[in-house]
Structure 1
Amino acid sequence: MSEIPEAIREQVITELYRQADELNWELLSAGEKKRQYQKWIEDPRVGGVLRAFYDDHRMGTWIKDTPMKEYARAQEGFGSTAKYARSRFPGPDVLIRQALGPEWIVVSNSVDDKPMHCLAANGDTSRYVCWGRPNTFRDLIWAALNKAVTMPERPLVIVTEQDGITVSAAEKAVQAALAAHCGLDLTHVHRRLQRI
C-alpha cells in the first residue's frame, strides 16, 4: 500500500468532509453510509484521486477508517482531521455555560477527548464534565464513574443533541435513572453546528 502524499490526502479529506456536511453524515443510517462509501470510491474527486495508491477495497477501508472515523471528532475540533471540518460545534466553554450556568468556566488545558471531557470550575469548586451524542451514553457513564471515585464533586454527563439527533422522553428517563443510580449528574443540551 503506497503512502498518500500530504497534498493529495488534504485534497481528498477536504472533499469528503464537504460532501459529508451536505449529506448530514451523522444522520445517515448504517446502510446509507455503506452506499456512500461505494459512491466515494466511484467519485472522480475521491476514488479517482486515490486510485493511484489503493485498490477499491483498500480505498474503502481507508475512507472509512481514517477520515470518516475521525469526522465526529473533527466537528468537535479534535484530531488530525479537524482542520478539514467545514462545520463545528461551539467550543467546550459554550457547552459548559449552557449546562452549568454563566459562572462556570473550563479549566485551562483540561479539554481532551475519548470521550470529550474537561474540568469545569466555579471559584474553588471544580468538577469533571464529559459529553457526547446519545449513542455514546454508555461510554460517558463509564468515564464519569471512573472520575467519581477520585474527585470530591459529582461528575456531570452531558448528552448532546442536535437537529435530527434527539433523545425520547422515555430514553431520557432511563438515562436519568442510570445516572442517579451511579451517583452522577446528567443533563441534555441541544447544540447546532456552525460553519467555519
Structure 2
Amino acid sequence: MPAIQLPAPIRERLLLEIYRQANELDWEFLSNSERTDHYRKWIEDPKVGGILRSFGEEKDARVWIKDVPMKEYARAQEGIGNYVRYAVRRFRGAEEIVQAAFGTGWSMKPDSISEKPNHCYARGDDATRYVCWGRAGTFRDLIWAALNEAIDAPERPAVVITIRDGETVASPDRRRQIQVAAHCGVDLTHLHRTMIPNPNYAGSVNNGS
C-alpha cells in the first residue's frame, strides 16, 4: 500500500485531476518514455504533486500516482472496478463485448465480470458461455484463458480482440489470430470500439453540471 494516506475529499480531487489529464493525453497510446516523462510532470504539478508532497515525500507521491489511480486506469475505462466514476470517457462495457461475440440474443450474466484477462459469462439460448477480451497485444493471454475454460465448459468459449479509434491490427496478424483460434476451437471476433462520455462520471457532480 502506498505510504501516503489522504483525506477522502483530497483523494477524490486528485483522482479526478489525474484521470482528466490522462484522458487529454490519450494515456493508452503513450510510449513508456512518454509516460515516465509525464509522471515527472505530475510530481511538478501543483494540483497533483504539490498536494501529495504535503502528505509525504516525493518518492511516495510518485508511488501513489502509479499504484493508485494509474494502476486502475485501463480497468476504469473498461467499466470495471472502483475507479470507473473518475474516468472521463469509457467503453460501453461488457454487454457490448458479449453481443459482439455471440449476437444480440445474448446478455452478460450478472456479477460475472473478472480480470486477468478481462472476462465474463454470457447467457442466451439456454446456454452459458465464456468470453474474454483485450487488445491485440494480449492475444496470447486471451487464447490461453479461453483454452483453459474450454477444458471444463460444455460450450465453446470466445475471444474478442478490441480495437479502439487510432488502432489497427495488421492483416497478417489478424489472419494468424483467426487461424490460431479456429485450431483451438475458440470463437474469435475483432471489435472496433469507440469511447463514450462516462455516464457515471463523478466530475459532473463536482462541476455542478
TM-score by length of 1: 0.93
Deviations 1:64-91 (A, max 9, x none): 1221111000011212222211111002
For residue 159 of structure 2, give the secondary structure of its aligned residue in structure 1.
strand
> Which residue number corresponds to residue 82 of structure 1?
84
- Spell out the pairing of 1:1-196 with structure 2 (5 A cutoff): 1-196=3-198
**2:131/2:146 contact within 8 Å kept:** yes
Q: What percentage of residue pairs aligned between the two structures are identical?
A: 52
Q: How far apart are the structure 1 equivalents of 2:4 and 2:32?
A: 29
Deviations 1:38-76 (A, max 9, x none): 111101110011011232222122211221111000011
Number of aligned residues: 196
Q: CA deviation at 1:177?
A: 2.4
Q: How far apart are the structure 2 equivalents of 1:135 and 1:65?
A: 22
Q: How far apart are the structure 2 equivalents of 1:5 and 1:153?
A: 48
**1:27/1:165 contact within 8 Å kept:** no
Q: How far apart are the structure 2 equivalents of 1:18 and 1:151?
A: 41
For residue 59 of structure 2, give the secondary structure of its aligned residue in structure 1.
helix
Q: CA deviation at 1:166?
A: 2.4
**2:4/2:64 contact within 8 Å kept:** no
Q: CA deviation at 1:163?
A: 0.8
> Which residue number corresponds to residue 205 of structure 2?
none
For residue 121 of structure 1, give the secondary structure of its aligned residue in structure 2.
strand
Q: How far apart are the structure 1 equivalents of 2:177 and 2:33?
A: 27
**2:131/2:160 contact within 8 Å kept:** yes
> 2:45 is aligned with what amino acid?
D
> 1:12 is aligned with what amino acid?
L
Q: Unaligned regions of 5+ residues in structure 2, if any?
A: 199-209
Q: CA deviation at 1:30?
A: 1.0
Q: How far apart are the structure 2 equivalents of 1:42 and 1:190?
A: 36
For residue 48 of structure 1, give the secondary structure of its aligned residue in structure 2.
helix
TM-score by length of 2: 0.88
Q: CA deviation at 1:129?
A: 0.6
